[in-house]
Structure 1
Amino acid sequence: MRIHVLATLLLLASTSAQAAVWNNRNNWNSSWEERYVSWVRSSWTVNALTQSTLSNGEANPFKGMRADCADTVYTMRFVFAYMNKLPFAIKDPTGSGVLSNAMSRWDGQSEPAKARAFLNLIYNVGSTRSLPNDSFPVALSRSYVKPGIMLLATQKNHHSWTLQNMLSIGVPHLVFNSTIGATSGSKLQERTSWPNPGWVFEGDQTPSGHAGFRAFRPLAYLGRPVWDVPGYSEEQYRIPLSQWTSRATGKLATQKEGDQAKMDRLMKAACDAFKQRVSSVNEGVQARASIGRCMTYAEYDTYSTPSRDERLFDDLMALRSGFKSASKMDQKTLRRLRKIFPAVQSGARAENQAMRAQGVTADSFCVVEYRRGVSMDLSEMKRRLFAGAVSNNPNDDIQARWGERRGSNSCQSWGEWAPNL
């Protein structure tokens, strides 16, 4: 009888081992949370889904997967849990339970194959709508705003970022991605600057809007009221949007950023946004050509760039504001900025109305080939964008997308964006 019971227990243990996506060898506690923070700071990069090996030296089973913004947030926590055999679970967006690594739907596959299939399931059902159920808002303190958490926008703009690091100057380094098109690759994106809080909290700067910095919930708090989670804070919703970035920076900084370093950082952020727009526009142009007709709403939503264009505008306005208040920078930077903002002490509208077309010169910064054989610098990109000449509409041809001519308006459009100077 004892032998029979032992055999039964061994069989159950074997079945359980085969059933789980991976077996938990560790459990989340303060020590593992700190190791997670350190891993994100040192190893979470834009190449998470393109590199052949994980940071522990194992083959990367997630190589080649394509993640949108919410997928990227889930991937950050998922990969660390998988490598260290920690529990991973999210609230099931399609039901009342949870999706966890204890699931048994991929029996018969290897552990790496099951992990990839599980992450793919999360990509299919997870979104910026599900992230609030798996997270909670935190106070603006370095005790909570640290690598491994997320920054979430309201559903009006449905975007999210992962916090890869909070710099000593109180500025976030964010790893993220955008909507996936037919030709999108697996490499993620990054920026070292604050998104516009007016855009992040647009439409609902209250706890019910779910925007701002949020940390992953402890698994025991999935499905429970968010205010029950230890560390829950509504501080972010009490700060006026006009002061949000300066107040957040002040709370999170441990040293002051100099004028030159600030200009270098803001110039890079605007340049990166310009470059990222090139690939997004090219995807839309290619998709429109392959479709051969006006895009449906879903296709338009995938390939249009109103949010991206608004973020580029915000980056340029942040650079303009920084330049206007800066007093110490080198002459090369000063010449470059004067080319981009030739009348910075005037209003942005007046400056752009007086601004002529900008060619590439020795003072140009961020010269980008935006279509085959044609380049412009950031000053000309700024002029076109601020003039409202640039099209967000993926039904337009590439010349119209970049402001060389007007779009045809022959196809229906939804939710286009134009600058408000």
Structure 2
Amino acid sequence: MKLLVLVSFLISTTASASVWKANRSWTEQDEVKFSLFLQSEWAADVFANPQSDFYGIKTDCADAVYAARIVFSAREGLPVKFSDVTKSGSYLTQEMSRWDGLSPLERIKRFISYTGDLVSTLTLESDTYPVAINKDFFRPGVIFLSPILSDFEKRATGFHGGHAEYVKRIDDIGFIEAIASTSPKAVRTLSLNKNPYMAALVTRGGFRRWRQPQQFGVNVENLTGYSLEQFNIADWAPLKLITRRQIYQWHEAIRRTLRTRAPSFDERVDIVVDSICSLLTTRAELVQQGWSEVTKNGGRCLSADLADQYSTDSRDQRIRGSYFQLGDLYDWKKREDGDDILGSVEDAQSKLEKCRIQYWPGRFMNTWEIYPRVRDGLLESSASYAPAVRWGFRPKGTRDCR
């Protein structure tokens, strides 16, 4: 099936004064359909596959969250209403008429891009509300929001915040697969990940549900599925969940509510190993693409935006944290078994050896071979250095671009 080809669902006329015609209001059944859409139809390459009607749209994390809601709403003839930061008390809706004369699909694409330039994790705070952690309301289509923190909150936690992603799938052991874009804004394949690296730090974040257009102005406590229960589990307190163990325990409390069976130890380990494999695979792509841009640029350093796009600071932190998380799991398992020997990453060697990363065309390392480089801080995140430095084959000196 061609990726998200929605033209047949849209009104064919180009004379409409709106982006699309909304012919009814949202219902709870529509939310169920949106959940199924996120799970079954919203593909990771929706913006990066030339066969997709939405190929070429640039997104960051918030843009991608809004885009999915727009695409589904247009297909179903439902309204959208998002906070407009350009004017107090105003909203972005499908009734905008600035793209008259364009095809229905082109109007939607323009609306997605226009909305993306105005929305952010800040507007998501207003456009969503905290959701109950139960199987009735916690399903694909729920958003995890990490809002941008205040200066005080940043100092207290060491986190900056500013990320959003969808719950795409929940498996029978309660693990949540998230789908997300990232910064800076670019045409990219969305990432899929089951191993969360952040938890709710403040009540304006966490797992949240969309406000329907008719719900603006209504007290959130009266909205369907509203609950603050996620802030009453795993010893949650504001600005507290910052260590790997605290983050894991908070998500584990949520998983226990959602699962239909308990995971085995190997299943837990495999999820972390898969996460490491995915993160390093994408890192390899970024390193190759970044150095290719430097080469095409005559060896000159990249612009600030491009350097940011191909650098891997936050990704490298996640990779390092995921490796050490394996050590946490094996240590926990050995303590449960009454073993006096501490567990470590080395216990996962056989599993890590199974994932091979093509870190440069024709050259491979497995994720076990990469581990010592991560452990010893040899990976270089900056796109100003050659791949040999970025993978720790030679030490960092002066930057390799000019």
What are the ranges of 5 or more consecutive residues in structure 2 without an aligned counterpart? Answer: 1-12, 149-159, 335-340
Distance 1:140 1:31 in 2: 19
Report the equivalent of 2:128.
Answer: 135
Q: What amino acid is aligned across from residue 124 of structure 2 in structure 1? A: L
Q: 1:225 Cα shift?
A: 6.7
Contact 1:90 1:100 in 2 (8 A): yes
Over 3 Å counting, the alpha-carbon distance change for 1:279 and 1:363 in structure 2 is closer
1:48 aligned residue: 46
Q: 1:123 is matched by which residue type in structure 2? A: G
- Is residue 90 from structure 1 mapped to residue 82 from structure 2 by the alignment? yes
> Residue 113 in 1 paired to residue 106 in 2?
yes
Instruction: Report whether the alignment pairs 1:255 with 2:283.
Output: no
Give the drift of 1:70.
1.6
In the alignment, the residues of structure 2 paired with residue 391 and residue 111 of structure 1 have an alpha-carbon distance, to the nearest angstrom, of 46
Aligned length in residues: 358
**Which consecutive unaligned segments of at least 5 residues does structure 1 have?**
1-14, 54-59, 328-343, 353-357, 413-421
Contact 2:19 2:95 (8 Å CA) reproduced: yes
Aligned to 1:81: 73
C-alpha RMSD of the superposition: 3.2
Deviation at 1:126, TM superposition (A): 2.2
Aligned to 1:63: 55
Contact 2:81 2:93 in 1 (8 A): yes
Residue 16 of structure 2: SS of its match in structure 1? helix
Closer, same or farther in 2 for the Cα pair 1:281/1:212, shift >3 Å?
farther
How far the C-alpha of 1:235 sits from its partner, in A, is 3.0
**Deviation at 1:180?**
4.8
Aligned to 1:57: none
Counterpart CA distance in 1 for 2:216 and 2:377 is 45
Q: Is the 8 A contact 1:72 1:162 kept in 2?
A: no
- Which letter maps to 1:319? L
1:229-240 to structure 2, matched below 5 A, reads 229-239=223-233, 240=236
1:28 aligns to 2:26 (yes or no) = yes
Query: Paired residue for 2:363?
Result: 374
Offset of residue 102 of structure 1:
0.7
The one-letter code sitting in structure 1 at the alignment partner of 2:197 is N
Query: Would the alpha carbon gap of residues 227 and 309 (structure 1) be closer, same or farther in structure 2, given more than 3 Å must change?
Result: farther
Partner of 2:319: 312
* Counterpart position of 1:322: 329
Aligned 8 A contact 1:142 1:252 in 2: yes
- Amino acid across the alignment from 1:345: L
Query: Is the contact between residue 161 and residue 176 of structure 1 (CA under 8 Å) also seen in structure 2?
Result: yes
Amino acid at match of 2:193: R
| Structure 1 residues 127 and 279, CA gap change in structure 2 (3 angstroms) | farther
CA contact (8 A) 1:61 1:115 kept: no
Tell me how far apart the structure 2 counterparts of residues 363 and 103 of structure 1 sit (CA, whole Å): 51
Aligned-residue offset at 1:244 = 0.9
Indicate conservation of the 8 Å contact 1:40/1:164, yes or no: yes
Q: CA deviation at 1:147?
A: 0.6
User: Where does 1:18-417 land on structure 2 (aligned, <5 Å)?
Assistant: 18-50=16-48, 61-96=53-88, 97-155=90-148, 156-180=160-184, 185-193=187-195, 195-197=196-198, 200-201=199-200, 205-207=201-203, 210-222=204-216, 229-239=223-233, 240=236, 241=241, 242=246, 243-290=249-296, 292-294=299-301, 297-326=304-333, 345=342, 364-410=353-399
Closer/same/farther in 2, CA of residues 303 and 128 from structure 1, 3 Å limit = farther
1:287 and 1:93 map into 2 onto residues whose CA distance is: 35
Partner AA of 1:105 in structure 2: R
Equivalent pair of 1:61/1:113 in contact (CA under 8 Å): no
The structure number with the bigger radius of gyration is: 1
> What are the Cα deviations for residues 104-144 of structure 1, in whole angstroms up to 9, with x where unaligned?
00111121111111111122222223322221122322233
The TM-score normalised by the length of structure 2 is 0.79
Q: Which amino acid aligns with 2:21?
A: N
CA distance in 1, matches of 2:17, 2:129: 31
Letter in 1 for 2:30: W
Residues 324 and 345 of structure 1 are in contact (CA less than 8 Å); yes or no, is this contact kept in structure 2?
yes
TM-score, normalising length: structure 1? 0.75
Match of 2:6 in 1: none
- Sort the Cα spacing of 1:50 and 1:304 in 2 relative to 1 into closer, same or farther, 3 A: closer
CA shift, 1:231, in A, is 3.6
Deviation at 1:378, TM superposition (A): 0.4
Q: Deviations over 1:45-83 (max 9, x none)?
A: 213335677xxxxxx532332322222211221111111
Q: Distance in 2 between matches of 1:363 and 1:389?
A: 19
Q: 1:133 to 1:250 in 2, by over 3 A?
A: same
Conservation of the 8 A alpha-carbon contact between 1:21 and 1:102:
yes
> Sequence identity of aligned pairs in percent?
27
Given the superposition, is the C-alpha separation of residues 129 and 398 from structure 1 closer, same or farther in structure 2, using an over 3 Å criterion? Answer: farther
